[in-house]
Structure 1
Amino acid sequence: MTGTNKHLTYDDRLQLLSFVSKNYSMRKIGTILGKSPSSISRELKINRYRKRVFNDNDTLCTHARTCSSIKRGCSQTCKLYRLEPCPRLLKAPWICLGCSHYTACHKSKLLYDPKKAQLRYEDILHTSRLGPSVSQDGLNFINATLETYLKQNHQPLPHILHHTQLGISLSTLYRYVDNHTLSIKAIDCVRKVRYKPRKKEKLPSKATIKAIRKGRTYPDFLAYCKENPHAAIAECDSVIGTIGTPVLFTNCRM
């Protein structure tokens, strides 16, 4: 079981494919993976894909066994033509894998690939977090409020946020302005155009840090003391913050 993780992992999807090929029920698969049967069924239905085979026979009509005028190409001309559906594909497990007629069937197959499903899941996970985290109605309300207080009354953004209930922070509001999410532009802000963009401090690379620490580690210190037993040694205490950034020396003693 995957524990409390709500989303299916790549290992879960690999196991799912194995269980479906053994014709496990959705309820049994859900019990093993720790998910609801509806989630398992939805995963297979959404992420299945069609794989066509050479000379497939997808044009077989539901009336083929009773029709007296069946002929080649009637799927394009007959008004009564209806593609014969596969009963296995109309409900869970939604794919052809595990079917007893899988090798003998000449139709195009509906399959499930864990790798493709995982890539699609990661893409949805990424795109769902793009853009503003408010609804369109919320954006319209923010935009209308700023139109009133900013363009008409020429009030600064911090003052507007203090006296209104926009539901976002000042930094988020500035980000919406910079990303052109709102109709408000940077030139409309009273004070924003006076400030230059902050320059982000570029941290040294791992190669640079490794080169700087060469000959300055504690083993190097012990080797130096062994070679110079009469050397004067000073001990300093430091406050370590983020690894790789400068530290603060608090005191030093001989």
Structure 2
Amino acid sequence: MENKNDRYQKHLTLQDRYDIEEGLNHAYSLTRVAEMVSKDKTTISKEIRKRRVGDNLRLGNYNDCKNRYQCPIQHLCEECDRTKNCSACKKVDCRSICNEYHSEACRYTRRAPYVCNGCSMIYDCRRPHFYYRANVAHTTYVEQLKNSREGIALSRQQLYELDCLITPLIRQGQSIAHIYATHKAEIPCSMKTIYNYIDQGIFTARNIDLPKKVKYKARKKKRQEPEVDYAYRKGRTYQDFQTYISEHLDVNVVELDTVHGSNKKGNVILTMLFRNSNLMIIFLMKECTQECVKQVFNMMTQSLGIEEFQKCFPIILTDNGSEFKDPERLEKAETGEQRTKVFFCDPLASWQKGKLEKNHEYIRKVLPKGKSLEGYTQEEMTTLANHINSTARASLNGRTPYELAQILNSPKLLEMLQLQAVEPDKVVLKPQLLERKK
């Protein structure tokens, strides 16, 4: 009969972590969460504190120093002649230059539950946030477990003593199974590990000393998948993007992606979305290649001018599609001048550019999945973009992306791309929008 306490001795599974996240999202106590996953409360507490992730980038310009209301410090800047306190200065963020800066931590993250998952004040709170995410926690756990099991677990002295025991017996003709059965108490590892050590050349004995092993044919190895070269991501990862954004709080981010039709070879749509206004622009490309993407960038650079392009597209965030894996060709103009900076989302993490992914739903209303993109023109893609950008959004307080773009984005960009407003009652987001023009 299974002991009820056996399950308490096992490692947390991915399902256990999902249960923990679900419990935290409902603001359950750690005791109740521990009961849900049949673990001790201290295990849950350690798991949350060890694997929680921070979200400190949301603070923006908000001064979260715990001394901000009574701070008397003045003249942190060498040439500053102002009489007011540095905490009230709007020209320079005093947190970046003050040695007395201490972030005001929330009492709910200093003690149980240690995270903000189920906090009712999450949207009004400006303190640093911490979250428990099951997928992230389990990925970290698996990686740590894998690293802990690599290499040789025995010390040099233990290996020497084991070699002195095993090698003479092997050379007497004894099998590993016989040696292990008769000296099990003296051998600090499994029989499989002994075979591995001999195969790796760690012991004096070699494979040639094992009569049966040299008779066996070498097992066929599983086909190795080609290694992916991630050199293009160096200095351009999502973590690098977050660091850059935290240092340049006012910079506008443009999300970049492609939308395919039924045929992967042929016309493809290149989409860009400006985070500040939700304005989406659409380009039709003949192929989904690095060269075609570069041609779009070069066309806009020539039409806008290098300085205007730098203002419109300072930062670009995209995924790891093959068409974007030569970022230097996108970052530099034909003259060699830097025109933008490209960053990449983490693999299989398209939610990191979620605004653009969400906006693709509007494209799919007109061009459903499985529909070929052959036969369409750039003029029709511009028409599609105009209807999408003229759709009022609840997330924009009833405004349209085009209305915000007139305030937040370059008028020259709107004119160059022939973007214009569509009357509210004439907005069409059905396949008929483009079908009636064909």
Q: Normalised by the size of structure 1, how large is the TM-score?
A: 0.58
1:15 alignment partner, SS class? helix
| Paired AA for residue 52 in structure 2 | R
Which residue of 2 is the match for residue 115 of structure 1?
A: 135
Q: 1:89-168, aligned counterparts within 5 Å?
A: 89-132=109-152, 135-137=153-155, 139-144=156-161, 146=163, 158=174, 165-168=186-189
CA gap of 1:99–1:201, structure 2 versus 1, over 3 A, is closer
Equivalent position to 1:66, from 62, 70, 89: 70
Identity value in percent: 22
Most deviating of 3-12 and 113-122: 3-12
Distance, in Å, in 1 between the alignment partners of 2:67 and 2:198 is: 61
Q: Classify the secondary structure of the residue corresponding to 1:50.
A: strand
Give per-residue Cα distances to partners, 1:21-65, cap 9 Å, x unaligned. 222111122123321111111221122112344553575222112
CA change 1:84–1:171 in 2 (3 A) is closer
**Equivalent in 16, 33, 50 of residue 54 of structure 2:** 50
In the other structure, the counterpart of 2:214 is 196
Aligned length: 193
Superimposed CA distance per residue, residues 56-112 of structure 1 (whole angstroms, 9 cap, x where no aligned partner):
357522211211234243333333222222211112211112223200123442111
Do 1:56 and 1:108's aligned partners in 2 also have CA atoms closer than 8 Å? no
The whole-number CA distance in structure 2 between the counterparts of 1:197 and 1:57 is 71
Deviation sequence 1:169-191 (CA, Å, 0-9, x none): 666434213224x36473xx883
Higher RCO (CA-CA < 8 Å; seq separation 6+) = 1
CA distance 1:23–1:168, shift in 2 (3 Å): closer
Q: What residue number does 1:14 align with? A: 18
After superposition, the C-alpha distances for 1:150-184 in whole angstroms (9 at most, x for unaligned) are: 69xx966849969984445666434213224x364
Structure 2 unaligned regions, length at least 5: 74-84, 87-91, 221-438
Across the aligned residues of Structure 1 and Structure 2, the Cα RMSD in angstroms comes to 3.9
Larger Rg: 1
Give me the whole-angstrom Cα distance separating, in 2, the residues matched to 1:58 and 1:185: 67
- Asked if 1:176 corresponds to 2:194, the answer is no
The secondary structure found in structure 1 opposite 2:214 is coil
Task: Point out where structure 1 has 5 or more consecutive residues left out of the alignment.
Answer: 203-254
Against the structure 1 CA distance between its residues 21 and 39, is the aligned structure 2 distance closer, same or farther, given a 3 Å change threshold? same
Verify the 8 A CA contact 1:58 1:107 in the aligned structure 2: no
Indicate conservation of the 8 Å contact 2:64/2:127, yes or no.
Answer: no
- On the 8 A contact 1:45/1:94 being kept in 2, the answer is yes
Match of 1:196, SS state, is helix
Q: Aligned partners of 2:215 and 2:62: how far apart in 1?
A: 61
Matched, 1:79 2:86: no
Does the residue aligned with 1:136 lie in a helix, a strand or coil? coil
